[in-house]
Amino acid sequence: MHWYKGELLSMAKDVGYRLLPAFNTTTGIPYARVNLKYGMKSDRLEFARETCTACAGSMILEMAALSRLTGEPEFEARAHKAMDALWKMRHRGSDLMGTVLNVHSGDWVRRDSGVGAGIDSYYEYCLKAYILLGDNKYLNRFNRHYNAVMKYISQGPMLLDVHMHRPHTNSRNYMDALLAFWPGLQVLKGDLKPAVETHEMLYQVMQRHKFIPEAFTTDFQVHWGNHPLRPEFLESTYFLYTATGDPYYLEVGKNVLRSLQKYARVPCGYAAVNDVTTGKQEDRMDSFVLAETFKYLFLLFADKDELILNLDEFIFTTEGHLLPLSLSGHTANDTKNHESEINDELAMSCPNTLSLFPESFRKPLQNMVDGMCPRRNQRRRLTAAEFSAANINHLKLIKEMGINIVAMSDGRVQLLHTFSSARSAADAEEGLLFMQEMVELAKLQSQQPEPVAQAVTVPLKDHLGDEQLMVLQAGPSQFGRNLKGDEKVTAKAVIVHPFKGCEDLRVPDLVKDKIAIMERGDCMFIDKVRKVQRHGAVGAIIVDNVAGSSAASSPMFSMSGDGNNDVKIPAVFLFKQDASKLLLAISKDWDVQITISELREADNFSQNEEESMFQKLKLSVQDFLVKHTGITFTKTAVEVGGFRANIGTDKIRITYKEADSDNNLKEAITNQQWSKIRKGLLHSIMHSDSKELFVPLNILRIYYQTLSGASIEEVKATDVVKQTKWLLSELIKEQNKKDDDLVKLDTEGEGVAVLTDIDKLSKPDSSVIESKKEKLKQLNSILRTVSELESSLETQDIIDKVFNKLKIEASDDLIIGEEKQTSDERTSIVNKKEQSSIAKTKASRTVDEL
């Protein structure tokens, strides 16, 4: 190149002079860092007196090359002095080196000795200094170090750090990824057998984890999960293939390249892997990826005629740069070339035993990793991503794994894994994996933005025909399109069959251009949404499968995905009670257009309603902790007169005890129908063996809203304690009436039907009620709407059975119904067009509580 005038060499010389101040130490071992502009004048640099063995001993090749190309011996002399100082610092008994030392005193700071991080390239440069410079002292030093490594550090194919002064004691129980260079160095040394064994061990670790983790334990589990796409393993693969010609190593390189393409490829390059267990990437691509990783991949697969250089005349530095062997002052002789020609001729006429040599050492190691850490043959019963604290089956599974839920004093819930508490050793192992996944999920969730609550809006018509919007709070998803701001999706809704949405849809064309409604369970959320998206759905709503759940009494639920980004439609989650309102609206009008959008502040619960729901939320948490942790709480109790009510999570327990003081509560105007209901409640309390009665909270609210005369805003502002006090007061009012009224309940033909356990109703009721029909309009309207709701949920058969088999019975769960009558008469009452608009309005307000 006639145009080149040595500009690059001149700049390299300038950099060399700027590095020399780092060598101004007592021992001659250079500082770890130097400012190229100001030298060591910075106090922060001068007081950083510690350096690693690899830093101090990995300059002899470059500095010697610079001196021999520029004619300035200063650079090579400084590097020789540093290598000589390091050699003096070795442990004279074991010939091992530590990893960190003081540049002035030479004292070892870290006495761990190995072949990985902090010391790796020192061994490499001892051997390569002999190859490049021809100085026998470096060969002698390397042989002394190599024998010590193979005696103390090498444990079969594994290389474990030891204490340099106590070489028979391991200093750690894991290996780091940088030791992958060692088999390549052993090839240069000419010791192929241990090189093949160590390389095979590393390859099996790579196959298990897709990449070699930055550190892994002696049983080949992940210790540090990151992988910055290091080149050391490919370097050793290239040298082994060059030495043996075994095509096995081409297959190794192919698998490495496949992992790079599948797990590290991004639009702008190749991203480092943050965790090999999850495949999460980080926004980082180190310089050695291009300088070494892909260089060794290219050299592994390249033919000789594709190379513009004869690599046998060069040596690689630790950074993958080529230095010519001619720097040693010796040129290649003809004898070497003549011998290689003879070898090529023999290779064509006789079997090449070099490719058979490594196979004899690899074969005994082919199941080494799987033998020490066998793969799980059984399918995981529960993963952390699938876990739901509201699912009782999931709670049973983690209990079998030895995982307990512990309530903290600040209200948080902690998972505690105890190996001995598991049902079996296999369950304990699965519990450990579950806990590790939980930790990783917690890390990922802390790094992700807070999910935005979604809303499902349904237009409804009131009793006057005016359209009003019903807004339901919905949980977001961590996959698909998350609607924000003014973004929204509006379409008709369709209930998927089968309702779980996990199997093939019976009529897939029905979901096209519609919002598909499915139920939670049997498969992952994203699998359900992915299925309906394939058939043309524009959105998806997942309905909770836990009875009684609602957004008002539960924290926001966010659906998790599986890490893939193939879902593009929005998907939201509705709790059971909220979903029942949506299903009711759809059953009334199948053409109703529903909208999915971001939940706005104005659409959220009012402050009063949040305060009224606090009691329910508190009781729900207490009940969960009592059931699964054994922690007991004193439940809220209300006393009025001789009646006492204990408020539970979904019902109240009413008991009666003779009171010392009389309570003279009376009412001026009596609602005859409500009086009959109260008589039925009193009869159940007074005549049951346990003297108690259970009333569901949703029925209590219906009573209060329908019969107390309170407006819907007042009902929202009234918590369950006030409603319970009101009911007990009503019972006292009924009790203060004449005793004869209580007796009439069994003798009158128009009794009150108290529905208890549905499965126990077997005797049909033949009584016919022909009077007082007008007095039942309100409750008839409620029951009619409930009937429509239940029919939409495919439980019409159960309701028909109940209506045909009414009887008065006391039990734990009580629902107050209308007077007993034949099915035909009930239908005629329900379908009457003369029902008042007031009753309809109240029914629409209260049906969601059922």
pLDDT for residue 610:
44
pLDDT for residue 644:
86
- Measured in degrees and rounded to the nearest 5, phi and psi for residue 58 equal -120, 40
Average pLDDT, the chain: 78
pLDDT for residue 345:
47
- Measured in degrees and rounded to the nearest 5, phi and psi for residue 306 equal -90, -10
Question: For residue 415, what pLDDT band results from cuts at 50, 70 and 90?
Answer: confident
Specify whether the CB–CB gap between 683 and 744 falls below 8 A.
Answer: no
Maximum average pLDDT range among 152-156, 405-409, 771-775: 152-156
Specify whether the CB–CB gap between 286 and 177 falls below 8 A.
Answer: no
Maximum average pLDDT range among 286-295, 476-485, 545-554: 286-295
Placement of tokens 């049997």 in the chain: 522
Whole-number Å distance between alpha carbons of 452 and 182: 51
Asked whether residue 697 carries a pLDDT value surpassing 90, the answer given is no
pLDDT for residue 94:
92
pLDDT for residue 788:
55
Residue 353, judged by CB atoms within 10 A of its CB (0-12, 13-18, 19+), counts as: exposed
Whole-number Å distance between alpha carbons of 320 and 231: 9
- Give residue 66's Cα distance to chain centre: 52
Question: For residue 782, what pLDDT band results from cuts at 50, 70 and 90?
Answer: low
pLDDT for residue 779:
53
Return the DSSP state at 650: S
pLDDT for residue 295:
95
- For the ranges 47-51, 395-399, 411-415, 818-822, which has the lowest average pLDDT? 818-822
Asked whether residue 596 carries a pLDDT value surpassing 90, the answer given is yes
Asked whether residue 335 carries a pLDDT value surpassing 70, the answer given is no
522 compared with 224, residue with greater pLDDT: 224
Q: Which helix (H) or strand (E) holds 294?
A: helix 294-301
pLDDT for residue 139:
95
Asked whether residue 406 carries a pLDDT value surpassing 70, the answer given is yes
Tell me the DSSP string of 733-749.
HHHTS-HHHHHHHHHSS
Asked whether residue 136 carries a pLDDT value surpassing 90, the answer given is yes
What is the rounded average pLDDT of the residues 89-118?
A: 94
Whole-number Å distance between alpha carbons of 21 and 487: 62
Range 436-452 burial, b when 16+ CB lie within 10 A, else e: ebbebbeeeeeeeeebe
Long-range contacts made by residues 396-401, C-beta under 8 angstroms, separation at least 24?
A: 398/431, 398/434, 400/427, 401/427, 401/428, 401/430, 401/431, 401/434
Tell me the two tokens of residue 371: 């033998």
Specify whether the CB–CB gap between 771 and 700 falls below 8 A.
Answer: no
Cα four-point dihedral sign 758, 761, 762, 767: negative
Question: For residue 207, what pLDDT band results from cuts at 50, 70 and 90?
Answer: very high
What is the rounded average pLDDT of the residues 724-738?
A: 81
Q: CB-based contacts of 161: which residues, under 8 Å, 6+ apart?
A: 112, 113, 114, 116, 153, 170, 171, 172
pLDDT for residue 817:
38
- For the ranges 109-123, 170-184, 538-552, 615-629, which has the lowest average pLDDT? 615-629
What is the rounded average pLDDT of the residues 450-474?
A: 80
What is the rounded average pLDDT of the residues 601-619?
A: 49
E strand intervals along 192-238: 215-217, 222-224
Tell me the two tokens of residue 708: 């107390």
- Measured in degrees and rounded to the nearest 5, phi and psi for residue 635 equal -75, 155
What is the rounded average pLDDT of the residues 46-50?
A: 82
Question: For residue 492, what pLDDT band results from cuts at 50, 70 and 90?
Answer: very high
Task: Establish whether 318 is an annotated binding residue.
Answer: yes
721 compared with 354, residue with greater pLDDT: 721
As a whole number of Å, the CA-based R_g of the chain is 40
Q: Give the residue from 402, 467, 457, 393 showing the smallest Cα distance to 429.
A: 402
What is the rounded average pLDDT of the residues 773-798?
A: 52
- For the ranges 447-451, 524-528, 617-621, which has the lowest average pLDDT? 617-621
Return the DSSP state at 659: -
Specify whether the CB–CB gap between 50 and 30 falls below 8 A.
Answer: no
pLDDT for residue 741:
45
pLDDT in tens, 242-284: 999 999 999 999 999 999 999 999 999 999 999 999 889 999 9
Task: Compute CA distances 665 → 436, 461, 588, 688, whole Å.
Answer: 61, 41, 43, 24
Cα four-point dihedral sign 511, 514, 520, 525: positive
Asked whether residue 368 carries a pLDDT value surpassing 90, the answer given is no
Whole-number Å distance between alpha carbons of 200 and 153: 18
Q: How many residues make up the chain in this entry?
A: 850
Q: Give the residue from 443, 407, 461 showing the smallest Cα distance to 225.
A: 443
- For the ranges 75-79, 90-94, 329-333, which has the lowest average pLDDT? 329-333
Would you say the pTM of this structure is higher than 0.85?
Answer: no
pLDDT in tens, 798-826: 444 444 444 333 333 443 333 334 444 44
Q: According to the 3-state scheme, what is the secondary structure of 464-525?
A: CCCEEEEEEEEECECCCCCCCCCCEEEEEEEECCCCCCCCCCCCHHHHCCCEEEEECCCCCH
- For the ranges 129-143, 665-679, 730-744, 809-823, which has the lowest average pLDDT? 809-823
pLDDT for residue 244:
92
E strand intervals along 650-757: 651-656, 692-696, 754-755
Q: What is the largest CA-CA distance in the chain?
A: 129
- For the ranges 14-23, 105-114, 441-450, 783-792, which has the lowest average pLDDT? 783-792
pLDDT for residue 581:
84
Whole-number Å distance between alpha carbons of 132 and 121: 15
748 compared with 563, residue with greater pLDDT: 563
pLDDT for residue 366:
65
Whole-number Å distance between alpha carbons of 812 and 572: 36
Whole-number Å distance between alpha carbons of 329 and 438: 61
pLDDT for residue 251:
95
What is the rounded average pLDDT of the residues 287-300?
A: 94
pLDDT for residue 761:
30
Specify whether the CB–CB gap between 64 and 327 falls below 8 A.
Answer: yes
How much of the chain exceeds pLDDT 70, in percent?
Answer: 70
Of the CA atoms within 13 Å of residue 668, those in its CB half-sphere come to 0
- For the ranges 72-81, 455-464, 627-636, which has the lowest average pLDDT? 627-636
Whole-number Å distance between alpha carbons of 763 and 689: 22
Whole-number Å distance between alpha carbons of 709 and 595: 34
Whole-number Å distance between alpha carbons of 271 and 269: 7
Helix (DSSP H) and strand (DSSP E) numbers for the chain: 30, 32
Q: Which helix (H) or strand (E) holds 329?
A: none
pLDDT for residue 558:
83
Question: For residue 445, what pLDDT band results from cuts at 50, 70 and 90?
Answer: low
- For the ranges 143-157, 175-189, 244-258, 743-757, which has the lowest average pLDDT? 743-757
Placement of tokens 């509560």 in the chain: 665
Task: Compute CA distances 181 → 62, 118, 218, 371, 803, whole Å.
Answer: 19, 13, 18, 25, 80
- For the ranges 386-400, 565-579, 657-671, 819-833, which has the lowest average pLDDT? 819-833
Cα four-point dihedral sign 827, 832, 833, 838: negative
Maximum average pLDDT range among 127-136, 371-380, 656-665: 127-136
Residue 689, judged by CB atoms within 10 A of its CB (0-12, 13-18, 19+), counts as: exposed
Whole-number Å distance between alpha carbons of 229 and 251: 18
pLDDT for residue 850:
33
Asked whether residue 836 carries a pLDDT value surpassing 90, the answer given is no
What's the first-to-final CA gap in the chain, in angstroms? 90
Whole-number Å distance between alpha carbons of 297 and 253: 7
What the chain holds in terms of domains, given with CATH numbers, is: 392-447 (no CATH), 454-604 (3.50.30.30), 615-736 (no CATH), 749-850 (no CATH)
Sheet containing strand 112-113, edge to edge, reads 112-113, 162-163, 166-170
